[in-house]
Amino acid sequence: MSFLEDVKQGLKNNPKRIPSKYFYDEKGDYLFQQIMNLPEYYLPKMEKKLLKTYSKQLAKKLPEGTINVLELGAGDGTKIVILLKALINDTKKLNYFSLDISESVLRSNEQFIKSKVPNLNYEAVAGDYLNSLLKYSKIEPKLLVFLGANIGNYDLKEAQKFFKFLRSNCTLNDSLLVAFDLKKNPREILAAYDDQAGITKEFNLNLLKRINLELGSNIKLESFAHFPNYNPVNGETNSYLISLEDQEFKFNDGSVFQIEKFEAIQTEVSKKYTLKEINQIAESSDFELSFKFTDSNNSYLLGLFKPV
């Protein structure tokens, strides 16, 4: 569906929800890069540390010869470059496909990756990465890479469905590398989504600003509060925008939506997983968790999955 259709459908839902993939316009990309460097936002730091520690071992687990790396939701490339260097140094011929919905972030990705790994065959693919993957599913052997703990955007059932989709686009010669943020101290998790500088709040409000600019709406940004919470039972962090007054949204196509005072719009979910759940996802989708790499506190995991 289009941006407009997705937003309209989300506002019809109960509770209201706007897909998080629409965070990423040019301003959203900029704000997310700031979030990545916040002291509270531990995820990229943990992931880079694991990649620096284990990328050489990961390279040894992959087939000899040419490797086609397809990164889903590639971002700016600052994490995948660690693995790409290890693969190049392991004398593998490397083709890298950078799949991302944001054209602006892909421009940054291409410039960065080519400067750090000049002997790489590079291709940028703009669009929804699930649709983009279908175009390259016949390439093999391939390594599908899903970093950033973005698997947390799916709850357990959705993650199983996502893995089944990936499996349907894999052969037995392929591999899948996924980063998982694991359950840990709830206060540490919540702080990552409610930073003191207010950048995450601005990032969420920019979604409404984008709706105004691109869809011709009249949403009053100052009439919303950003509210994240974390449920230690199911491991889900949810981000909401709370309306501080009764409001009416209008769009260019003439459609109108009502939102009540203190009603919430869900903008993001970030699930934290357990090892048991990760194995459950793999088993339900015909993957095997063949290798796992974690930090000393078992709070973050890089999982290498093989189709079975």
Residue 72 has what pLDDT?
96
Residue 64 has what pLDDT?
82
- Provide CATH 3.40.50.150 ranges for the chain: 43-185+273-307
Stretches in the chain below the pLDDT threshold 70: 90-92
The pTM score is: 0.90
Residue 104 has what pLDDT?
86
3-state SS of the chain?
CCHHHHHHHHHHCCCEECCHHHHCCHHHHHHHHHHHCCCCCCHHHHHHHHHHHHHHHHHHCCCCCCEEEEEECCCCCCCHHHHHHHHHHCCCCEEEEEEECCHHHHHHHHHHHHHHCCCCEEEEEECCHHHHHHHCCCCCCEEEEECCCHHHHCCHHHHHHHHHHHHHCCCCCCEEEEEEEECCCHHHHHHHCCCCCCHHHHHHHHHHHHHHHHHCCCCCHHHEEEEEEEECCCCEEEEEEEECCCEEEECCCCCEEEECCCCEEEEEEEECECHHHHHHHHHHCCEEEEEEEECCCCCEEEEEEEEC
Residue 65 has what pLDDT?
85
The pLDDT tens digits for 169-226 are 999 999 999 999 999 999 999 999 999 999 999 999 999 999 999 999 999 999 999 9
Fold exhibited by the domain 43-185+273-307: Rossmann fold (3.40.50)
Residue 91 has what pLDDT?
64
